[in-house]
Chains A and B, each alone.
Chain A
Amino acid sequence: DAGVIQSPRHEVTEMGQEVTLRCKPISGHDYLFWYRQTMMRGLELLIYFNNNVPIDDSGMPEDRFSAKMPNASFSTLKIQPSEPRDSAVYFCASSLKNTEAFFGQGTRLTVV
């Protein structure tokens, strides 16, 4: 397996624009997580899915953030409208229940 695949690797956008981050989990994993990493706050869980169903979205900062998982092999994290304070590295991870989690390479988002 190629591991967790995220795209794009880097995204630069203007404030107010819509941003969509994409993730392909490891085949067979039934848990998918979206994390955000900043220097100030470290790694924060935004939302996670089990069998394509959102289980806990309490970490989603605002209504501007939304996440979907239409099938077992694809998830998106959307920010609309984006703001400069959303600039961070966004990671996707997948796992089986309570087992080793594997992370993607991340998407570095810069909102100017």
Chain B
Amino acid sequence: KQEVTQIPAALSVPEGENLVLNCSFTDSAIYNLQWFRQDPGKGLTSLLLIQSSQREQTSGRLNASLDKSSGRSTLYIAASQPGDSATYLCAVHQQTGANNLFFGTGTRLTVIP
């Protein structure tokens, strides 16, 4: 069964710092990997989707990379802002079996003004 792990579970950084969030998965047979943001008490907002054939995807200050063979993805946030404070979740869409997303447990990010 696919297992998705996110490290660290929590991260605090001062405003302006660049940071990297990590995601690893055990089964590399995936269609794509999706990064989400979740604010407290809110739903999940899709940030980036990387297809299995892609190496990276960028949106504004966010850059997500994917190394499918090693089962890893990173989300890079440049010039962090207090508004980036949220929980970040990665999820993989597996090729075999059910067409659903397997989620990591998330990294709770706090950007300190």
Q: Indicate whether A50 sits within 8 Å of B99 (C-beta atoms), given known contacts A42-B105, A43-B89, A100-B34.
A: yes
B101 close to A100 (CB less than 8 A) = no
- Report the Cα distance A106→B89, complex, angstroms: 16
B43 close to A105 (CB less than 8 A) = yes
Residues from chain B with a CB closer than 8 A to the CB of A45 are 98, 100-101
- Give the number of residues in A that approach B within 8 Å (Cβ atoms): 23
Q: Among residues 46 to 104 in chain A, which have CB atoms less than 8 Å away from a CB atom of chain B?
A: 48, 50, 55-56, 58, 91, 93, 97-104
Interface of A is mostly: strand
Asked if B25 is an interface residue, CB under 8 A from chain A, the answer is: no
- Report the Cα distance A50→B98, complex, angstroms: 11
Chain A positions within 8 Å of B, measured between CB atoms, are 31, 33, 42-43, 45, 48, 50, 55-56, 58, 91, 93, 97-106, 108
Can you report 12 A-B residue pairs in the complex whose CB atoms are below 8 A from each other? Answer: A31-B99, A42-B103, A42-B104, A48-B100, A55-B99, A98-B93, A98-B99, A99-B49, A100-B34, A100-B49, A101-B34, A103-B45
Cβ-closest 10 pairs across A and B: A103-B44, A105-B43, A98-B31, A43-B103, A56-B98, A100-B49, A103-B43, A42-B105, A45-B100, A106-B43
